[in-house]
């Protein structure tokens, strides 16, 4: 490891987050991978200059991206598809849900998986589990080769659409998700930080033209420095504030659904939507 120095996560030309770190690992292949050590956040993982997760607060992200969609299912999930998620955090949470029969994963970058297995093995799910099938393939490609009406849950835990994840924010991708989802199934995808990168949520809005039920949720993950958006879609109407499946985590609990699906006016404006309850109010 190197001595300590300040590393800057560049958010915009004139703005970023600075961390006093030791460099643990750095390599540039399909993606630039960096692993740093920091007093506050512990070991943390960076792809193409953007923080993906830290040891200190990864559970918030991994619990919400797993339990929020699962809470909307009429019956407990049995078949799950994870796209991305090479750090194994989503798998860890999925494996806590009773009754899961099959977990298929499409991760494009084997190096991410190998490095996380070496440096973040405590955070990873169990890949020796016979229910798990991990394929190192592009998510859209793998999806196209997947069966129709096959999955109760599709969790897209991918990077922002800068590098290899561009194909995962396309109309074709959302149409393939719709084809592969079971009639009662639910899909979720991270849509970045609208306050910093509003274009990502706008891109993900394409999904709203594919799914009869579409909604947006938000969660604050401290290491990202801003609220993160998730988009969710389903073939049948869902009542997001009335969870049908009950899960409790270190962070997530069923009572959170209402808060997670209540959006600020800035986001509603971004997605050109008015909060149905406040429809009659005066626009300030």
Choose which of 7, 67, 106, 151 interacts with ligand SAM (CB under 6 A).
106
Identify the active-site residue in 57, 109, 152, 157: 157
Choose which of 167, 206, 208, 262 interacts with ligand SAM (CB under 6 A).
167
Q: Name the nearest CA neighbour of 263 among 233, 235, 246, 241.
A: 241
112 within 8 A of 47, measured Cβ to Cβ: yes
User: Cα–Cα distance between 21 and 44 in angstroms, integer?
Assistant: 10
Question: Residue ranges of the alpha helices (H) in the chain?
Answer: 58-70, 89-94, 110-119, 139-144, 171-180, 198-204, 257-260, 265-270
85 scored as a contact of ligand SAM (CB under 6 A): yes
Give the nearer residue to ligand SAM in terms of CB position, either 72 or 229.
Answer: 229
User: Cα–Cα distance between 66 and 80 in angstroms, integer?
Assistant: 10
168 scored as a contact of ligand SAM (CB under 6 A): yes
Q: Distance between terminal CA atoms of the chain?
A: 53
Give the nearer residue to ligand SAM in terms of CB position, either 137 or 268.
Answer: 137
Residue for token pair 């292949």:
29
User: Cα–Cα distance between 90 and 97 in angstroms, integer?
Assistant: 11
52 scored as a contact of ligand SAM (CB under 6 A): yes
Question: Binding string, 141-160, against ligand SAM, x = CB under 6 A?
Answer: ----------------xxx-
Active site residue 114: no
161 scored as a contact of ligand SAM (CB under 6 A): no
User: Cα–Cα distance between 5 and 36 in angstroms, integer?
Assistant: 11
User: Cα–Cα distance between 126 and 132 in angstroms, integer?
Assistant: 8
160 within 8 A of 50, measured Cβ to Cβ: yes
Choose which of 35, 70, 83, 256 interacts with ligand SAM (CB under 6 A).
83
At closest approach, how far in Å is the CB of 90 from ligand SAM?
8
At closest approach, how far in Å is the CB of 190 from ligand SAM?
4
Choose which of 34, 189, 190, 257 interacts with ligand SAM (CB under 6 A).
190
165 scored as a contact of ligand SAM (CB under 6 A): yes
Neighbours of 2 (CB within 10 A): 11
204 scored as a contact of ligand SAM (CB under 6 A): no
Rg, Å, the chain Cα set = 18
Catalytic residue ranges: 157
Summarize as ranges the residues that interact with ligand SAM (CB under 6 A): 52-53, 61, 83-87, 106-109, 112, 138-139, 157-159, 164-165, 167-168, 190
């Amino acid at each position: 490891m190197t001595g300590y120095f300040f590393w800057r996560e560049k958010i915009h030309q004139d703005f970023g987050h600075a961390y006093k770190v030791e460099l643990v690992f750095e390599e540039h292949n399909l993606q630039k991978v960096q692993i740093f050590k920091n007093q506050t956040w512990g070991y943390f993982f960076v792809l193409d200059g953007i923080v993906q997760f830290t040891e200190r607060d990864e559970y918030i992200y991994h619990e919400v991206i797993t339990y929020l969609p699962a809470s909307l299912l009429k019956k407990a999930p049995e078949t799950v598809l994870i796209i991305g998620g090479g750090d194994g955090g989503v798998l860890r949470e999925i494996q806590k849900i009773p009754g899961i029969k099959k977990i298929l994963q499409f991760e494009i970058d084997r190096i991410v998986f190998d490095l996380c297995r070496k440096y973040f093995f405590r955070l990873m799910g169990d890949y020796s589990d016979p229910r798990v099938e991990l394929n190192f393939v592009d998510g859209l490609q793998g999806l196209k080769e997947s069966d129709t009406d096959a999955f109760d849950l599709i969790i897209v835990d991918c990077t922002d659409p800068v590098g290899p994840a561009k194909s995962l924010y396309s109309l074709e991708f959302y149409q393939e998700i719709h084809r592969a989802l079971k009639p009662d199934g639910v899909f979720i995808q991270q849509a970045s930080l609208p306050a910093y990168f509003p274009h990502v949520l706008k891109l993900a809005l394409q999904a709203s033209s594919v799914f009869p039920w579409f909604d947006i949720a938000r969660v604050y993950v401290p290491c990202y420095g801003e609220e993160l958006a998730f988009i969710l879609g389903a073939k049948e109407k869902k009542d997001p504030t009335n969870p049908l499946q009950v899960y409790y985590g270190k962070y997530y609990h069923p009572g959170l659904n209402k808060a997670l699906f209540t959006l600020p006016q800035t986001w509603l404006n971004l997605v050109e939507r008015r909060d149905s309850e406040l429809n009659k109010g005066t626009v300030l």
